[in-house]
Amino acid sequence: MQKSLYINADKCTGCLQCEMACSYENYGVFNPAKSRIKIFDFDHTGRKVPYTCTQCDEAWCLHACPVEAIKVDAATGAKVVLDDVCVGCKVCTIACPFGTINYVQDTGKVQKCDLCGGDPACAAACPTGAITYVDADWTGLERMKQWAAKVDNQPRA
């Protein structure tokens, strides 16, 4: 069964442990600037929201790549960048509607979340459970339950 990252922004404290774990996993350094997951800080509300590649089914990045440097990992379902094929043209960064593919100046290539091969470092490092790695079919279940429990969402006769 495929799994995916589930992000519950209500639990995020903005501690940046996910960013640190990601940068260490992928570059061997603790540097949030090198992370493939980011914490967006809504200054006006004080809320922190983690965001990263959602591994879209449609995968516009994959379809836009002129050299086919983005492939689907058969084991995880993640859309991964093949560094040896990527030419750094940045077309995928334009195609991604969420802005979760980033150009890396040091390498001249792009980077995006690859789910750490099925063991996401960000989820393992998150102390509050704001980021979890769950069965892909169930990522929206809790939100659906909350919506269904509301009294005013039922059709009127």
Mean pLDDT over all residues of the chain?
A: 90
Q: Coil, helix or strand for 26?
A: helix
pLDDT of residue 155: 54
Residue of higher predicted confidence among 98 and 136: 98
Residue 46 banded pLDDT, cuts 50, 70, 90? confident
Residue of higher predicted confidence among 63 and 150: 63
Give me the mean pLDDT over the 72-91 stretch. 96
Residue 137 banded pLDDT, cuts 50, 70, 90? confident
Query: What is the distance between the alpha carbons of residues 117 and 124, in angstroms, rounded to a whole number?
Result: 13
pLDDT of residue 81: 98
pTM for the whole structure: 0.83
Residue 43 banded pLDDT, cuts 50, 70, 90? confident
CB atoms within 10 A of CB 55: 23
Give me the mean pLDDT over the 7-30 stretch. 96
Indicate if the alpha-carbon torsion angle 43, 48, 50, 51 is positive or negative: negative
The residues pairing with 71 across neighbouring beta strands, listed in sequence order, are 80
Distance of CA 83 to the CA centre of its chain: 19
Q: Coil, helix or strand for 135?
A: strand
Q: Which domains does the chain have, with CATH numbers?
A: 1-52+118-157 (3.30.70.20), 57-112 (3.30.70.20)
pLDDT over threshold 80, residue 115 = yes
